[in-house]
Amino acid sequence: MRTVTATRYVTPLREGGSLPAIVEADDSGLYVVKFRAAGHGTKALVAEVLAGELARAAGLNVPELVLVDVDEALGRNEPDSEIRELLRGSVGLNAGLDYLPGSITFDPVAGPAPPADEASAIVWFDAFCTNVDRTPKNPNLLCWHGRLWLIDHGSAFYFHHTWRNDEAASASPFAAIRDHVLLPWATAPRAAGERIALALDAATFARVLAEIPDAWLADEPRFATPDAHRAAYARWLERRLAAAPRFSEEAERARHAVV
C-alpha cells in the first residue's frame, strides 16, 4: 500500500458515526478517508484494510487503499469544531480509499441486477469476513464504469473489538448473511467460495496483515507486540477459512429462503 500525505480537507461525508471525509493528498488524488479518532478508532481501520485487501486478492473490485498521513497542521483553519477535534485526534496514519468520481450507490430496486457469479462471490466473501454491513439499507457498494465496487469494511471482523469470542466467531455460520443486499442474485455462493478460497492462503494473509501499521495494532492489551496481534489475526483467518463449509451452507440456505 502507498502512503500519501493529506494536504487539504475537502468535505465531510456525514454518514453513520465514522465521519469520513474527502481529502486531497500530496499526489493530487482525492481519497475517502476514515480517521483513527472516529467511531471505533483503529479497529475500524484495521478491518478496512484487512477486508479490503483480502477482497482484492480474491478478485473482487475494491478502490485502491492507501495510508493517509495527517499532520497536526491540517485542521488548524477548520471552522467546524467537531471536524477540528477529529483531525487533531487523527494525527498520524489513517485509512484512505480512492475516490471514484461519478460513482453511484448500488440500488437493489433500480438495478441493474449484478451477475450471479459476482453476487455469489461477494456474499461468500462477506460471510468469510463476518461483514454485517452490506444490507439493502446500507449496501456499501458503488456502481462505477459498469462494475460493482466494494467499499466501507469497517464493520467486518466484529469479534476484534473484544477478542473474547474470537473462536466462536471463526466457526460461526454467520446467520446475518440473510440480510445481505446481494443475496437474491447469489445463486451459488458455495461454488464461488471454492474459487475464492484458492487465493486466500497463509501467504496472502501474512502479506495483507503486514500492510497494517504497527500504530493501529499497538493498543490492544491482549497482545504484547503488533506482530503478536498480527499472528492472532492470521490464526483467526485460517480457522475461518476452515469453517467455509458451515458458512457456505448458511448462505445457500438463506438464499433459498428469499427466492
Q: Based on the domain organization, do 43 and 118 belong to the same domain?
A: no
Q: Based on the domain organization, do 207 and 248 belong to the same domain?
A: yes
Q: Based on the domain organization, do 75 and 9 belong to the same domain?
A: yes
Q: Based on the domain organization, do 84 and 41 belong to the same domain?
A: yes
DSSP E strands in the chain: the ranges are: 3-12, 21-25, 30-34, 65-70, 92-98, 104-105, 141-144, 147-150
DSSP 219: T
Q: Which among 98, 131, 166 is the end of a domain?
A: 98
Distance of CA 102 to the CA centre of its chain: 21
The residue type at 96: G
Q: Based on the domain organization, do 151 and 214 belong to the same domain?
A: yes
189 three-class SS: helix
Q: Which among 98, 121, 148 is the end of a domain?
A: 98
Whole-angstrom Cα distance, residue 57 to residue 60?
A: 7
Q: Based on the domain organization, do 67 and 140 belong to the same domain?
A: no
pLDDT of residue 19: 84
Q: How confident is the model at residue 40 (pLDDT cuts 50, 70, 90)?
A: confident
Mean of pLDDT values over 17-41: 92
pLDDT of residue 39: 79
Q: Based on the domain organization, do 129 and 250 belong to the same domain?
A: yes
Q: Tell me which residue of 247, 220, 252, 256 sits closest to 126, measured CA to CA.
A: 247
Residue with cell 503488533: 226
Q: Based on the domain organization, do 51 and 141 belong to the same domain?
A: no
104-118 pLDDT, tens per residue?
A: 999 999 878 999 999
Q: Which among 64, 98, 132 is the end of a domain?
A: 98
Q: Which domain holds residue 174?
A: 104-258
Average pLDDT across the chain, whole number: 95
Q: Based on the domain organization, do 87 and 206 belong to the same domain?
A: no
Q: Based on the domain organization, do 190 and 139 belong to the same domain?
A: yes
Using DSSP, how many helices (H) and how many strands (E) does the chain show? 9, 8
Name the domain count of the chain. Answer: 2
Q: Based on the domain organization, do 68 and 146 belong to the same domain?
A: no
Q: Based on the domain organization, do 187 and 251 belong to the same domain?
A: yes
191-240 pLDDT, tens per residue?
A: 999 999 999 999 999 999 999 999 999 989 999 999 999 999 999 999 99
